[in-house]
Structures are given as C-alpha cells and as structure tokens.
Structure 1
Amino acid sequence: MRVWRTLLAVVLVASAAPTVLLGVLVVRDRGGVDAPVIAAALASAALAAGLSAIAARRITRPIAECVRGALEIARGRFGHQVRVFARNEIGDLAYTFNHMSRQLESYDAENHRLIAALERGYLETIRSLASAIDAKDPYTRGHADRVAALAVEIGRELGLPAEALSALEYAGILHDVGKIGIPDAILAKKTPLSSDEMALVRGHPRIGAEIVGGVAFLAAAVPAIRSHHERWDGAGYPDQLAGEAIPLVARIVSAADVWDACTSDRPYQKALGPADAAAVVGTLRGTQLDPSVHDALLAVLERRGLLRAATTAA
C-alpha cells in the first residue's frame, strides 16, 4: 500500500506538471482565469489522477501477489503459484517464484518420503531387537508386538495425537528391552522368584530406559519404558510414582501389558479367556491402572469384539 501511494504521488505530479505550467502561461497571457480554463484544468487534473491510479495499480498489484505467494511458502504451502501475467521484470520475478515454489514442493515430497523410509527402517530395527528379547523367553513370543498394537489403539481411543501414538508403538515394542540382561533361567522360572531374582527383574525398566535413552527418535518412548511398572496407587517400581505423576504413555503401555500378560501362557499361569481377563483387569482399576486408561482399554476390547464374544459364550 505504501508503494502504491508513492507511485501514485510520483505519477500524479509528473502528469499534472504540464497542466500546471500551461495554466500559469494562460493566466499570464490573459491576465486572469475564466470558467473554461478552470474546467479544463480540473478535467486535466482528474484525468491525471485516474491515469496515475491505474498506472500505480498495474505495478503494485503483481508485487502484492508475489508477497502473498511468499507468505504461503513461509506457511509451508509449497507449490503455491502466483498469477502474474505482466510481460516485464515483475512478470519474470513471478515466473521465477513459481518455478522455485514447484521445486520446493518436489523437495518437500522427497523429504517426506525419505523420512517415512527412515522411520520404517527404525521400526524394523527395534522390532528385531524386541524379537531378540522374545527369543529369550518362549512364553512371551510376540508379546512386544501385541502390547504395541493394543497401546496404540488405547491411545487412539483417548484421542492422542500422531506423535504420541508413535511413541506408544515404540514404547510397546521396547518396554521390556531391559530384560536383555536378565538370565534366561530367571525369565523362564516356574517357581516363585527369590528376593534377589525379583530385584534383578524389577531393574529392567530402568535398564531399558538407559539403553534407549541416547537415541533421539525414541526420546518420547523413554518415559513409558521406565515407568510401565508404576502403579496408580504409588506401589509400583522403579520410582514409586502415583496417579498422574506417571507419564500417560506409561499408564497406557501398562494397561496393554497387563491385558497381554493375562491372556498369554506364562510359566506361572495359563492364559485366561477374555471374560476372566477382563474381570482380573477390572479389579486393578484405580489401584494398579489409571481408571480412564482402563475404560479406554475396555472400549478397545469391545470394538475388537472380544468382550462381546466372551459375554455371549458365558
């Protein structure tokens, strides 16, 4: 707008100057000003103003269009094209801008493709690591993938954003990564663990968090890895956190972990059916499990048809 006003003033002065000069000469020649001269001067001034406004607009409108296009690019809307058809330097600027915008769109698409491929590679790597942990204990084979899938569904039920769902997937897969240092004999032991053995097992959340703590893309999953054995009532481990002091991702992974533990064969118990497992999990609501997360878990299980099927069978 400031450029438009400046151009208007410059063009107006340039176009009005001859009229003013002519008027001065007429006044000097005739010794005064009559009505026709005044009318001609006003008409000339009006024409000069109109032509000046048109000229200024023709120059500033393409500039304004380029500015709007630049703002769209700044907002990340790559590929935006400006509609400027002037056959002058401003038209050349618009053509160059449009070419740049298309190139940025192409680079952005390629970056998204590479990032997606990189994330898939990361995911496959951590799945391989989880499989190595599962191989130590045949009773938990597939446990990590099941916990990850269920945790993501619970997160969706709670309306969490995509970033949190990714953290839940990574945390679900790696929540037991700290067990990699626990002897197989302890993991597969069918009799009660000694106090020393229990202390060793209870150290796996802390160890797991330390293992992945230096990996930048897993940073959001670390709280769940460390705190998935914390309890809503504060009686968990390793930090005895309680209530909402426990990270939400950890509360969600905990609920998914409990459900899978109830419905899988373990050295110390046979798998429970959905109805019996739901009953056991229900007793943990408000003590071990966050009530809202427990309710979201049940909603997911109902959507899967597990609880309805169990109810029908009963």
Structure 2
Amino acid sequence: MRLFRAILGLMLLSSAVPVAVLGALLATRAELDGLAIGAGAFSVALSVALSAWFARRLTRPVRACVAGALEIARGRFGREVPVQVRNEIGDLAYTFNHMSRELASYDAENHRLIAALERGYLDTLRSLAGAIDAKDPYTRGHSQRVADLSVEIGRELGLDGPQLRLLEYGGLLHDVGKIGVGEPILRKAGQLTEEEMAVMREHPVIGAEIVRGVEFLAGALPGIRSHHERWDGGGYPDQLAGEQIPLVARIVSAADVYDAMTSERPYQRPLPPATASEKVASMAGRQIDPRVAAALERVLQRRETGGAAGEREARA
C-alpha cells in the first residue's frame, strides 16, 4: 500500500505540472469561458484516474509476490503467483515461482529422508527389543505387543503423532534394562526370591541409563524408567504416585500389565482376555491410572468387537 501511494503521488505530481501551466495561461485572460473551465476539470479528473489505474497495475504484481513470499515463510512451499505482465516484475514473478517449486521439491525430499531415517530407527529398536525378548522364551514378542497396545491407548486418549511415536519407542524399549539381568533370573521357572527380585527391579534404571544421551529417545525415557511405578505410589524405582508419573510411563505400564496377564509365564497360565480386562478394571486407581485404564478398556472392547466381526465375515 505504501508503494501504491508513492507511485500515485508521483504520477499526480507529474501530471499536475502541465495542468498548472495551463491554468496559469488561462488565468491571464480576463474572463474564462465555460469550455476552458470544463476542459481543465476534465484534465485533472483524467489525470487522477489514469494515475490510480497505472499505480494499481504496477503494484498488484508486487503485492502478489509479497503474499506468495509470506506463504512460503509459513512453510507452504510450491505456492506460485499468477503474474502475466511482460516486464521486470514479470521476470521477478517467474523467478519467484521457480524458487517456490524448487523449495517444494527439496521439502518433499527432506520429508522422505526423515521418514526413511525414522523407519531405520524403528527397525533398529525392533531388532534390539527382539534380542531382549529372546533372552527369555516366555517374553518373545512381548515388547512389540506392548508397543502396539501403548500406541492404541495413546490414540484413544487423543495423543498426536509425535507422542504416539514416543509411546512406540517406550513400549519397544521398556525392558531394555533386562540386558543387565542374568539369564538364570530371567529364565527361572517359578517365583523369584527377595534377592532375585531386587536384581530384577534394577532393570528400569539400567534401561534408562542405556538410552540416556540418545537424543531422539529422550521423550521415551520416562516410559523405560517409570513403567513399574504405581498410581498409588507403591511401585519402583522412584515411588512416584498419580500425576507425578509421566503419562508415557502410565500408558506403557498398563499395556505391560495386560500383556503379562495374557501371556504364558513360568509362574502362571495366560488369562483369557475378558478375565484380564476385568483385572485391569479392578487395578484402576491403585496400580493403573484410572483414565488410562478406561482407555485400555475401550481399546480391548474394540478389539473384541473387531475380532467377532472378522470371524462372522470368515464364516460367511
């Protein structure tokens, strides 16, 4: 708008000069006839109209370029400006559009590389989780199942993409500290002694130390260290309670508890999903965050409904 006003002012000023000269010449006459006055007024009006039209025609492409630049600044790459004039401003618009297309191409390539890098991270984490589970034949596949269920619970709670990704990382690595626990304890077919349980209870701290310093896992670290904390404060290693426990840890904990109840273990037979679901409900407010327990219940109900529908389709 400032450029428009400046150009309009300059054009009005330049057109006012001949009008002023004409007025001065006419002023030397004793009397001005109506035709002369009308011609002067028409000249002024025409000058203003032409100046405004030309100034607007000149500044409209510039405004379009400015609007396009703001769109790119907001990350909307690929925006092009519709400038058809064949002058220096048209050349500027052509250059701007070319730059915008190149930025869109680079942005798409960056997204592709980031996605590939994240897939590589996830594949590495899955391999590591598989190696951990392989130490104990009774927990094979446990970490992946906990990760999958944690993501479902998080989605039920309305968490966004980055938070769901951290839940997946935390679920996959929640037992990574078991690398530091001896196989005789992990493979023991029966209840652990107090001394053995004390060793086992070190695995959340060991796991947190293993991943500490890995920047992209920083947000998942609470899910590793605190997944054995209890809502009532009776858990370990830090005896956190309620909202003190990070949400990622509360979700991973609920998924871990459910999968442990429904899996074959040396000291227990797997519970039917319905029985495990009832036990989860009874733990709400004591071991498990009530809000997380309710979300888990909804996920399990949806799984059961989906499974029943799938069976009916298969029979049909």
TM-score by length of 1: 0.95
Which stretch of structure 1 is more off in the superposition, 49-58 or 184-193?
A: 184-193
Q: Is the 1:146–1:260 Cα contact (8 Å) retained in structure 2? A: yes
In the other structure, the counterpart of 1:18 is: 18
Show the 5 A alignment for 1:2-151. 2-28=2-28, 30-151=29-150
Cα shift at 1:245: 1.0
2:278 aligned with 1:279, yes or no?
Answer: yes
2:253 aligned with 1:254, yes or no?
Answer: yes
Rounded Cα–Cα distance in structure 1 between residues aligned with 2:8 and 2:278: 80
Q: Deviations over 1:164-201 (max 9, x none)?
A: 10001011000000111100000111233232221211
Identity of aligned residues (%): 65
Letter of the 1:158 partner, please give it. L
Show the 5 A alignment for 1:182-261. 182-261=181-260
**Matched residue SS, 1:240:** coil
Cα shift at 1:239: 0.8
Q: Is the 2:202–2:237 Cα contact (8 Å) retained in structure 1? A: yes
Rounded Cα–Cα distance in structure 2 between residues aligned with 1:198 and 1:138: 19
Structure 1: gaps spanning 5 or more residues: 310-314
Cα shift at 1:25: 1.7
Q: Deviations over 1:87-128 (max 9, x none)?
A: 111000000000000000000000000000000000000111
Cα shift at 1:285: 1.2
In the other structure, the counterpart of 1:312 is: none
Rounded Cα–Cα distance in structure 2 between residues aligned with 1:93 and 1:40: 40
Which stretch of structure 1 is more off in the superposition, 145-154 or 200-209?
A: 200-209
Structure 2: gaps spanning 5 or more residues: 309-316
Rounded Cα–Cα distance in structure 1 between residues aligned with 2:212 and 2:95: 46
Rounded Cα–Cα distance in structure 2 between residues aligned with 1:8 and 1:51: 9
Cα shift at 1:306: 7.0
2:190 aligned with 1:181, yes or no?
Answer: no
Rounded Cα–Cα distance in structure 2 between residues aligned with 1:68 and 1:191: 70
Q: State the superposition RMSD in angstroms.
A: 1.4
TM-score by length of 2: 0.95
2:293 aligned with 1:304, yes or no?
Answer: no
Q: Deviations over 1:258-279 (max 9, x none)?
A: 0000000111111111122122
Rounded Cα–Cα distance in structure 1 between residues aligned with 2:123 and 2:25: 89
Aligned pair count reads 308
Letter of the 2:63 partner, please give it. A
